[in-house]
Amino acid sequence: MPRFLVSLLLLLSLGGCTHVGVEHYANQQPQLDLQRFFSRPVKAWGIFEKRSGEVAKRFEVKITSRREGNALILDERFLYSDGTRQQRVWTLTPDGPGRWRGRAGDVVGEAIGEVAGNALRWRYRLHLPVDGSVYEVSFDDWMYLMDEDTLINRSSMSKFGVEWGQVTLFFRRQ
């Protein structure tokens, strides 16, 4: 079979793949309430894995929050395994039942979030500094509330539709 035809069949078969939507988790417990989860300080631990599976960075995050009207402000302070530090301040606003919008200084445009049951899907583009350059990458975050104090986050990071790596985070309310 000609290589072109094999490539075409592969692309068509990939196009038929479906992704689970956040509504799939609507009946899962415990129910995730972002404002409640972040009502106390949170500490998180994470890794960034390259496409190859190599762990390229480890990090810790301290998160404090406050309310400003209906907005939830999350102040994230990162400490990476190489000693570098970073801060990201999110402003999250409700956008209807189970929907959130978010902004931060290094986020391109708005982040869009959907909550159902114990899950949150959070999608956004980010200016990511790497070795003196800044890349615009897309994040597709999935967060799952395990119990009232523990949240697990798995993120896929991509550019032009090609996956660059995965981020795994464990959040624990203090």
Whole-model pTM: value is 0.86
Please report the pLDDT score of residue 28 as a whole number.
Answer: 96
* Amino acid identity, position 159: K
- Structural domains counted in the chain: 1
The domain that contains 147 carries what CATH number? 2.40.128.20
Four-CA torsion 132, 138, 142, 148, nearest 10 degrees: 50
Please report the pLDDT score of residue 131 as a whole number.
Answer: 84
Q: Per the domain annotation, does 62 fall within a domain? A: yes
Number of helical (H) and strand (E) elements in the chain, helices listed first: 2, 10
Q: Per the domain annotation, does 9 fall within a domain? A: no
Please report the pLDDT score of residue 16 as a whole number.
Answer: 45
Q: Per the domain annotation, does 148 fall within a domain? A: yes
As a whole number of angstroms, the distance between CA 35 and CA 47 comes to 25
Q: Per the domain annotation, does 138 fall within a domain? A: yes
Q: Per the domain annotation, does 15 fall within a domain? A: no
Please report the pLDDT score of residue 9 as a whole number.
Answer: 46
Please report the pLDDT score of residue 6 as a whole number.
Answer: 47
Please report the pLDDT score of residue 19 as a whole number.
Answer: 76
**Domain range spanning residue 143?**
28-173
As a whole number of angstroms, the distance between CA 104 and CA 92 comes to 9
Q: Per the domain annotation, does 143 fall within a domain? A: yes
For residues 25 and 19, is the Cβ–Cβ distance under 8 A?
no
Can you give the pLDDT of all 174 residues of the chain as single tens digits? 556 544 544 444 444 445 789 999 999 999 999 999 999 999 999 999 999 999 999 999 999 999 999 999 999 999 999 999 999 999 999 999 999 999 999 999 999 999 999 999 999 999 998 888 999 999 999 999 999 999 999 999 999 999 999 999 999 999
Q: Per the domain annotation, does 11 fall within a domain? A: no
Q: Per the domain annotation, does 113 fall within a domain? A: yes
As a whole number of angstroms, the distance between CA 92 and CA 145 comes to 18
- Which residues, at least 6 apart from 94, have a Cβ–Cβ distance to it below 8 Å? 70, 100
Please report the pLDDT score of residue 1 as a whole number.
Answer: 52
Please report the pLDDT score of residue 2 as a whole number.
Answer: 59
Please report the pLDDT score of residue 8 as a whole number.
Answer: 44
